[in-house]
Amino acid sequence: MTMDVVKSKKVVEDEYTIKPQASTPAVDTSSWPLLLKNYDKLLVRTGHFTPIPNGCSPLKRDIRSYISSGVINLDKPSNPSSHEVVSWVKRILRAEKTGHSGTLDPKVTGCLIVCIDRATRLVKSQQGAGKEYVCVIRLHDKLPGGQPQLARALETLTGALFQRPPLISAVKRQLRIRTIHESKLIEFDNDRHLGVFWVSCEAGTYIRTLCVHLGLLLGVGAHMQELRRVRSGAMDESKQMVTLHDVLDAQWTMDNTRDESYLRRVIAPLETLLTSYKRLVVKDSAVNAVCYGAKLMLPGLLRY
């Protein structure tokens, strides 16, 4: 191994390392990635560190580990089911298992978080997370009150609502309560009987049912024409969203040119889904015990 390689390896290792010292160092951690972001804002219990050469930053894992601990913010195309899309990703990346953040109907497009291998254990938490949609609604007649009437009706249908799943549905058709957090009318054309609205809601809300209820409330009848999910849990359209073609191209580039940069761009580390969670930093000497089921005790904590 040449001197330059040794030097560069040392620089990479030292990038996020804090040496053992008596006082807590003043560092700016606002640009540190993922779960290390704003590390200096955490409450300090002790300044004791036990640096060991194991582990690495989530962004610097070797490519096989990076893929098997990765998530993809996928732009689901119209027509295939969520299950089909996820199984295609599994076949493209030659992964052992894949999971997704909540089923989208075949005709619905947008944000589908695909978890790969080790990241599939986060699927449950993502399926229960809040969702945001943009919907095109078609009314069955002209509204006498125009846009303000539709905006008022949309505002009425917020909070906890009773919903029964649509006739064609994968779950049992029983009455359930779902919460609409917020909704906003984006556009309305009274002559063409078309409206576009944005809605933020609880997981498991049926937008198709919401459109039918809107039609009943307005007294003209309505149905959902088109739907797109713009946010699912921690991921939205602005965060590294990719298509199936991007995933296929990235894997092809890796296989044929050994260039892994495209795969790293398409796949994000599983830690990106956990950035909104509360953090505890434990001593390296306590990690093994915690992994084997020991309780988190105060002496093992560094920051919280």
- Token pair, residue 224, equals 């959902």
Catalytic residue among 105, 141, 189, 249: 105
Active site residue 105: yes
Which DSSP category does 76 fall into? E
Distance CA 295, CA 283 (A): 14
Q: Which of 288, 274, 186, 187 is nearest to 235 (CA)?
A: 274
CB 179 within 8 A of CB 200: no
Give residue for tokens 């089921």.
293
CB 264 within 8 A of CB 256: no
Which DSSP category does 281 fall into? E
CB 303 within 8 A of CB 45: yes
Beta-carbon contacts of residue 54 (< 8 Å; ≥ 6 apart): none
Distance CA 85, CA 216 (A): 35
Q: Is 138 left (phi over 0), alpha (psi -120 to 50) or beta?
A: beta
Report the catalytic residues: 105
